[in-house]
Each structure stands twice: as structure tokens, then as C-alpha cells.
Structure 1
Amino acid sequence: MSKQANKVAFFELPADDMARASKFYGEVFGWSTPEQGGGNVWAFTTPADEQGNPTETGAINGDIRPRSKGFDRPLIMILVDDVEVQLKEVENAGGKVVHPAQDESQFGGPVWAVFSDTEGNHLGVYSFGV
């Protein structure tokens, strides 16, 4: 397991109005919300590398994306070594896969998936591969 694996490392926030949400988080918390592409904006709470990962130990960044039927609540993302292995662990422990692994590495993104824990909370797992 890598040093960073199995830690909360990213968040995603749904918004009905991207400009309004960007303005709110910028004014209230001083977050930088530059365009990310695809209608999404980054939510930089701290300086970040080219993948949006924080460069400060213990900090997390995220993004704000349009609210949709499948994305209607904040989502905590956990960095893991292997998404498929982690999804098997989720299922073995009584959780359910909500959105199977999706590989966005061809676009410079991660492999990611969403699961539901035993209490019905949705969380995500992601990995940038080995």
C-alpha cells in the first residue's frame, strides 16, 4: 500500500448554478475555482499539482460539478492503490457498488468508482494507477 492510499483526498460538490457556487466558495472560504473542463470547476482549498491534488500535507482539494440525478449530494473521495480491489473489499464488508469503475486515464484522469457503505452513504474511490 502506498503512503497516501486509503486517505480522504478529494471531494465533489453538486451545484445548480456553477457561477453562483464558485462565487460563494471564493467569497466565504477564499477557494480558487478555475475552470476544469466539461462544465466543472476546481475547488482549490490549497495549492495543487496538475491533477488537482494538494501539495500541502493533510489538505484536500475538490471540484464543483453540475447537480444531476446520480450526483445530488457531496461526495467524499478516497485515494486507493487499486479501485477494483477496493470495490471487492466494499462488497465483502456489506457495501454496494453504486457506479462501477470508470477509467479516465486516457484523459489524464483517474480510475474511479462510487460505492454505498452499510449505512447508505455514498463515497468514491479513485487511483491514478501504478
Structure 2
Amino acid sequence: MTTPAINTVSWFQIGSDKPDEVAKFYGGLFGWTFAPDPNSDGYDLINYAGADGASGGIAHVPAASANHATFFVLVGDVAATVAASEKLGGTVLVPPTTSKDGLVFAHILDTSGNNFGVFTPAP
């Protein structure tokens, strides 16, 4: 699988309290396919034609108030990016977190209140 360039939008996430319905919607609209993420409970990987691998995910959330769509930027160092975002006026929503497979991610609010994520892939 080809690794995208550092500091590019390389992943997206759709959070839904109705993950089966949202998968049916996007699958029907764009032809995307879905598979459970073996490294994360309550998360489905999104694949689409022409991609080397999964390009996004559906997070199963407990209530409609948590539904969302967000983008993730691939970075070289999540902790350093989080620190830089704070110096620039950003707010950390989820501090650097490591998943079971070694992927590291964080969620940040920009200075306009937009939620986005940063990550480094699993080794």
C-alpha cells in the first residue's frame, strides 16, 4: 500500500448512531464497501474502487448528537503537531492516543471550532 505524503488529508471518518444505514447510503451513492476493523471494536473500514486500501471509517457512536464527518491529516509526529496546534490557538479534544495496532491519533478544534484529526499510521 502506498503511504500518502506527510501533512496531507489522508483519512476521513463518518460517525453515526446508525452505522448500517449510513453504510447503505454511502455504498449506494458511491459504491463504497465496508468491513469491520479488526483493530477497533465499533469501527468499520471504508474502501472504494481504485484505492490501495481503506480510505476512511465509520465510527459507531451512541447517539445522534455525536454524529459527525471529519478529516484526518497524516503527520510525522502526532504529539508535536498537537503542541504546535495549541500554540496557534487550537484546542485538543482527544490527546495523542495509540490504538491496538500502533496507529497514533488525536482530535483538535481549529480556531473556528472545526474538529479535525491528525494521525501517524501503525508501524
Q: Under TM normalisation by the shorter chain, which class is it?
A: 0.7 to 0.9
Distance of 1:45 and 1:14 partners within structure 2: 18
3-state SS in 1 of match to 2:34: coil
Go from structure 1 to structure 2 and tell me whether the alpha carbon gap of 1:17 and 1:129 turns closer, same or farther (over 3 Å shift).
Answer: closer
Return the match for 1:124 from 96, 117, 122: 117
1:75 lines up with 2:73 in the alignment: no
Note the C-alpha offset of 1:25: 1.1
Q: How many residues get paired?
A: 117
3-state SS in 2 of match to 1:74: strand
1:112 lines up with 2:113 in the alignment: no
Q: After superposition, what is the alpha-carbon deviation per residue over 1:61-117, rounded to whole angstroms, capped at 9, x for unaligned?
A: 10011124794321210000000110111011111111100012xx22411000010
Q: How does 1:1-130 map to 2 (within 5 A)?
A: 4-37=5-38, 38-46=41-49, 47-49=51-53, 52=54, 61-68=55-62, 71-104=66-99, 107-128=100-121
Distance of 1:67 and 1:42 partners within structure 2: 15
Go from structure 1 to structure 2 and tell me whether the alpha carbon gap of 1:3 and 1:65 turns closer, same or farther (over 3 Å shift).
Answer: closer
Note the C-alpha offset of 1:120: 0.3
Distance of 1:26 and 1:129 partners within structure 2: 27
After TM superposition, the score normalised by the length of structure 1 is 0.79
Q: Which sits farther off after the overlay, 39-48 or 27-36?
A: 39-48
List runs of 5+ in structure 2 lacking aligned partners.
none
List runs of 5+ in structure 1 lacking aligned partners.
53-60
Name segments (4+ residues, structure 1) moved above 2 Å: 45-49, 67-72
Go from structure 1 to structure 2 and tell me whether the alpha carbon gap of 1:72 and 1:109 turns closer, same or farther (over 3 Å shift).
Answer: farther
Identity %: 27
Go from structure 1 to structure 2 and tell me whether the alpha carbon gap of 1:91 and 1:31 turns closer, same or farther (over 3 Å shift).
Answer: same
